[in-house]
Structures are given as structure tokens and as C-alpha cells.
Amino acid sequence: YRLLPTLIGMMGAAYPELKRAEALISETLKLEEQRFKVTLERGLKILDEESGRVKNKILPGDVAFKLYDTFGFPLDLTQDALKAQGIAVDTAGFDKCMEEQKKTARAAWAGSGDTATEKVWFEILDEFGPTEFLGYKTESAEAKVIAIVEDGKRVEKLSAMGTGTVITNQTPFYGESGGQVGDEGRGEILGKGKYFTVIHTQKILGKLIGHHILNEEAAIEVGDTLSMNVDHKMRSAIRANHSVTHLMHEALRRVLGAHVAQKGSLQDADRTRFDISHPKAMTPEEIQKVEAMVNQEIGADTPVETRLMGLEEARETGAMALFGEKYDDEVRVVAMGRREGNRVFSIELCGGTHVKKTGEIGAFKIVSESALSSGVRRIEALTGDRVAAFKEEKAQQQAVAHGRVKAENDKLRAEMASLGGAVSKEIPTDTAEMEKENKKLQKEISDLRRQKATQSVDASGDVKDIGGMKFTGKVLAGFPPKDLKPMADDLKKKLGSGVIVLVATDEGKASIVVAVTDDLTGRVSAVDLVKIGAEALGGKGGGGRPDMAQAGGPNPNAANDAVGAIEKALAG
């Protein structure tokens, strides 16, 4: 990517687009380079493992293909890397895998495209031209039926209770395109007093607006006049969710940098989804800044201006166009936000439907930010009433989480007190602080309990001499099994030399740890001894090292028998 300025210096005059997109290109190249380095390292590691398994000095073709397909590791790189070790690649096997994958991809593609239906749409477009979209200004209009398509074929009428796509000369319904979902609504067949439902609206071949209709009471015929009414509530929500992407796009560029470019978007009545090129996760501060900037524009409640102009004229206004997108000669320029000197906050080319004033968006909140793919982030956001509802739900979740942490805190504090330990008088109010205290208390309780248990070995004087070795065995009711090993270590130090057996019992299960000091591991093994103990507890196996081993069993009542069995084994 360091070569880029040189390239732009040489070619920039002939291709002004290069200069305009310099930040984005640079960022993309840098990412690709980093990604390639990671790919290379990961691929080499896998290759290293695989070459260890190679027979007859030939790497199987499917392995080379997996490296290529899953890890993006090119075949020639694999060959070069293996040449040094005198290993060849089964290229015929590789080609076969590649061919199979292509076949699968082709089959999937053939299933999705329906060329016969495509032909029908081209015919309709040739015959009648593009559908006139009235929805920028109105949500209701009368329209004449010019074509009906049912099951991929042109028909003269759509029967009552039938479903099909109806094309009219004009329509207030927005056809799904540019990330904004299509409108839904109701209609009436004029003169017949019968109704139908528009369940979805789609842009077809970029020019026709197809109403997917669920017909109800009477046939719709070519030539009929329809009254078409967009679902206002839904349209308003979509409009707000779409409009806010303009403000969000600009705010993201200002907060994150000019390399931010739109990679895709989807706006429906519920939320808006916006994908951007950005190499890393947004920080909470960056998210907050973007939210504040957008909400400021919403609060300013300035009118949204839409103008039709020539593409070159639009470029001169500084309107943001999508890099690599194809535009008609006449474009729709949407300006939104407060005036800043001789321009406004956001100017974009866009064919979507927009609010009249930014205040109609109501409110804006980013609810999630995540990685979509390498170098692309996906942002999901809400507008209007949904922001308040989201905040309320979040507060409720937080209250529940706090309750849970508080209950744990109460329990730990009581436990600490019962062990005679000290707790701070001040109880934290913040959930995160309280969680921290809980962790600290858990550790303190476990240390204190272990200390007490270790001390009790001395006090009761239950260190015996068995076969010339010091031995202590202890059954600890309700003791956490995970603390057995640290306690055994404590006792090893205390005894200096000897064998230690600890059994923690709880309802329905027992855990046993055997520790042997290093000077005695030549005579007895903790692993052998723990197996004897586990058997007494009704368990099997156990594992560890000669100086420390652990096992368990389902019979806590046999804890003393387990200690006894080990003692007996030691006595020989």
C-alpha cells in the first residue's frame, strides 16, 4: 500500500476516481496485505503439519485444495514451500477437487435464475417503459394495470384469491432497492368496490415496480384502475430508518475517518443495518460520538432537500456517491442536516424515500456493532419510539443482572463472616464493582478455608507414622474439590516429608487427592494410591503424577474407608 501515492501520482490525472478514493484504497490494500501475512503464516503451519504425514513424498491433492479453498493458500505457494523438502503435490487430485467445486457452484446458480421470467419482464419494460414512482410525494394514488405476471407468465387477469405480480403505469409504492425494503399496503379495484393486499413491492430490472399482490374479492384485470394505498405507519418507520443512514454515514466518516465507505445496507420498519469498510471494532467512545452527532442533527430538525440534477453537477456539490456504483445521467441528490458554510452536513446520491425534516426520525441509537468479514463492520441501529423501548428493556436486563450479582454478594459476605474473616463495611452499588468484590471474596474465602483446614491437621495431631513415612488423612465435608490440591501443597510444606490423603465430600460425590513429597516418590506413587482410594469411593481410575494425583467417586459415605484403604496399602 506504500506504493499507492506513487501510482496515484502517475495515473491520477487520467483517473480522477483514484485520487477521490485514495483513503479507501490505501486502507483496503493495507488490510489485504495484513490478511495475506496471516494467511501465509497459518497456511505454512498447516502445511508443516501435513507434510509430516506425507507418504511417498507426495502431498494429496485434496489437502492442497483444502489449503487453497479454506485458507486462501495458492497452489504454487504450496508447491514452492514443499520443494525444499523434496515433496511434490498431486496436482491432478487438486484439479479434480477444483472441478467438483465449480460444478456445485454452477448447479446452485442455475437453480436461482429463471431466464423465462426474466424475458417476460424485458418484454413488459420494452412495451410500456419504466413505472413512474410517485412515492416521494404521496402515499396514495390511482394507477392503471398494464401487465400481470402469474407463475412467471403474463396473464390478462389475476383471479380472486390469487397471487401474482401487478405492474401499473405509476405507483406510490417503493420497490425494494438500494437496501430499503419495499412498501406494503392495501388497494381497491375502482368501480368494483373490491379490495386486495400488496404484500411486497420490488424493483424489477431497475425500472419496473412490481406489486406482489394477494388478491381477495374479485379478479384484477389488465386495464383496471386501482386505488393504491401505502401502509403509512410502516412507510414512516422505513423512511426514518432509511433517512438516518445518511446522517450515520457522514457521522461515521467524521468519527472514524474518510476511509469509511458503505458496503451494504438494509432498512426495514424495525431497524437499519449498515455495513462499512473499517479495519477494527468501534470503541464505545466512537459509538457514542456517532450517536451524539446524529442525534444533534435530528434535534436540529432541519428540512431534507431533494434535487434532481446531472451526474457531473451532482459531483460538484460534493455529494457522496457509492464507489463502483453505476448511476443514470440524471441523479437524485439528497441533502440532510444543518448548513455548514457552503454545504450541508450530508449530501448523497439516493433514490430512497426520506423524511421531510430530520426531527421526524425522532431518535437514534446503535444497538450492535460487529465484524461481518475481514475489514467490514456491521452496524445495527434503531430510530423513533424503538429507541426508548430498547433502552427500557436494557434497563430491565441490567436490573436483573444486578439482582443476581447482589444475591451472590450477600451469600459471599455471609460465608466470609461465618469463617471469621473481615469484609469491607461499604457495599458497592455499581454492578461491575460488586462483581469485582465477589471475585475477591471468592478467593479470600477459599484461602481462608484452606488455611483453617491445614491448621486443623496440626491441632488434632493426626499425623501418623506408617512404614517409616509420615501420613495424614483427612475427610473434609462440604470442602470445594478445586481447593484440595492447593491444600495438599500446603500440607506437603508443613510435613516436610510424607504422604497426604484429602477427601472432600458433598451430596452424592466425593473427590480425593493424594500427595507424596518428592523424597518419597521413589517408594510410593500418588497415582497408585489415588486409584485405591477411588475404588473405595465407588469410582474408577484417577490420574496425575507420582507426587500429586486426583480422582473421584459417587459414594461420599465411604470417605473414611478410602483413607483407611490407602493407609493399609502403605502399611503393606
Does the protein bind Zn ion through residue 542 (CB under 5 A)?
A: no
Single out the residue of 108, 269, 274 nearest to residue 176, CA to CA. 269
To Zn ion, the closest distance from the beta carbon of 144 in angstroms equals: 28
CB closest to Zn ion, residue no: 350
Classify residue 320 by its DSSP letter: B
Give the nearer residue to Zn ion in terms of CB position, either 350 or 512.
350
**Cell representation of residue 130:** 419504466
Does the protein bind Zn ion through residue 158 (CB under 5 A)?
A: no
**Residue range at the interface with Zn ion (CB under 5 A); choices 124-132, 147-155, 348-356, 558-566:** 348-356
Q: Which of residues 468-497 bind Zn ion (CB under 5 A)?
A: none
To Zn ion, the closest distance from the beta carbon of 237 in angstroms equals: 15
Does the protein bind Zn ion through residue 187 (CB under 5 A)?
A: no
CA 485 to chain centre: 39
To Zn ion, the closest distance from the beta carbon of 130 in angstroms equals: 19
What whole-number distance in Å separates Cα of residue 369 and Cα of residue 266?
15
The mark string for 294-333 relative to Zn ion (x by CB under 5 A, - otherwise) is: ----------------------------------------
What whole-number distance in Å separates Cα of residue 547 and Cα of residue 420?
33
Residues in contact with Zn ion, counted by CB under 5 A, come to a total of 2
Other Cβ atoms within 10 Å of 298 Cβ, number: 24
Going by C-beta distance under 8 Å and a sequence separation of 6 or more, which residues neighbour residue 173? 135, 182, 183, 185, 198, 201, 209, 211, 228, 230
Single out the residue of 167, 135, 143 nearest to residue 236, CA to CA. 135
Give the nearer residue to Zn ion in terms of CB position, either 43 or 362.
362
Does the protein bind Zn ion through residue 352 (CB under 5 A)?
A: yes
What whole-number distance in Å separates Cα of residue 489 and Cα of residue 72?
50
To Zn ion, the closest distance from the beta carbon of 341 in angstroms equals: 23
To Zn ion, the closest distance from the beta carbon of 104 in angstroms equals: 38
**What is the full DSSP assignment across 41-67?**
HHHHHHHHHHHHH-BTTEE-HHHHHHH
Contact 476, 446 (CB under 8 A): no
Give the nearer residue to Zn ion in terms of CB position, either 211 or 242.
242
**What is the full DSSP assignment across 138-149?**
-SEEEEEEEEEE
To Zn ion, the closest distance from the beta carbon of 352 in angstroms equals: 4
Does the protein bind Zn ion through residue 337 (CB under 5 A)?
A: no
Does the protein bind Zn ion through residue 256 (CB under 5 A)?
A: no
Angle at 509 between CA 505 and CA 513, to 5 degrees: 60
3-state helix, strand, coil in the chain (%, to 5): 45, 30, 25
To Zn ion, the closest distance from the beta carbon of 180 in angstroms equals: 7
Determine the residue type at 438: N
**Residue range at the interface with Zn ion (CB under 5 A); choices 13-21, 346-354, 363-371, 373-381:** 346-354
Does the protein bind Zn ion through residue 135 (CB under 5 A)?
A: no
Contact 47, 73 (CB under 8 A): yes
Q: Which of 350, 495, 502, 516 binds Zn ion (CB under 5 A)?
A: 350
Does the protein bind Zn ion through residue 179 (CB under 5 A)?
A: no
Give the nearer residue to Zn ion in terms of CB position, either 352 or 481.
352
Give the nearer residue to Zn ion in terms of CB position, either 239 or 450.
239
Give the nearer residue to Zn ion in terms of CB position, either 262 or 517.
262
Give the nearer residue to Zn ion in terms of CB position, either 354 or 386.
354
What are the residues binding Zn ion (CB under 5 A)?
Answer: 350, 352
